[in-house]
Amino acid sequence: MKKKSAFTLIELLVVVTIISILMALLFPVLAGYMEKARSMDCLNNLKTLGQGITQYMSDSKGSFFAKNAPVDEIWPNALKNVYVKDWRSFRSPFDKITKDRPSADKNPPPDPIPISYGMNDNLFDTFEGKWKAPTSTLIMLAPAVDTTTSSKIVLFRADAVANTSVSIKPLGTTGSQNYGTHRLRTAINVLFADNHVSDMDWAKFTDNTTTKGKYQWDPFYDP
């Protein structure tokens, strides 16, 4: 009679230990790939929104969005009604999914659409032709981070919905705490006024005191 083979308890523990070690080694690698993928999706969203902004300003003869515009004409609604048809472009993959802020896979879109991105507050009611340094000036920031909280969790401003201006003020980004979206909260994705996008260190993003920092926040800065 052939004897049946089976794992002993020690052999089973060895196998479990090896699997645990492999998982511990692979998890940071997989997490890193997932973060890079989310960052790329976020940058692509900014590119799409940037193209919509460019088209809007072209139709408006270079005028940027009005801050106190009627609800239908504030920037999120002005873009999604005409220039950016896919609502998912407004939804950052770093934006935490909740009942009120559902996944970008939700169909039909929620109402109001959750807006993950904030405009540079200094750009409202301005004219593109008078901007001093479009290649350096921030136009849109990702995401609309609530910088008043001490939590490491990315939280979004209470006004980051489709019926407000959805903007970020430079003075609201100061402080030693990191509120970025990735690279351990030390980085954030941004869109510049010349329509290029970039991954930016949080420390550089919050700078509004040096010459370079003033250029990125103030479209009329002229030393």
- pLDDT, tens only, 159-191: 565 556 788 776 555 556 677 888 888 888 999
Mean pLDDT of the chain: 82
**Distance between CA 203 and CA 223 in Å, rounded?**
22
Residue 119 vs residue 9, higher pLDDT: 119
Flag whether pLDDT at 112 surpasses 90. Answer: no
Q: Is the pLDDT of residue 146 over 80?
A: no
Within 10 A of 165 (CB to CB), how many other CB atoms are there? 17
Nearest to 37 by CA among 90, 91, 93, 89: 93
pLDDT of residue 154: 55
- pLDDT given for residue 61 in this prediction: 93
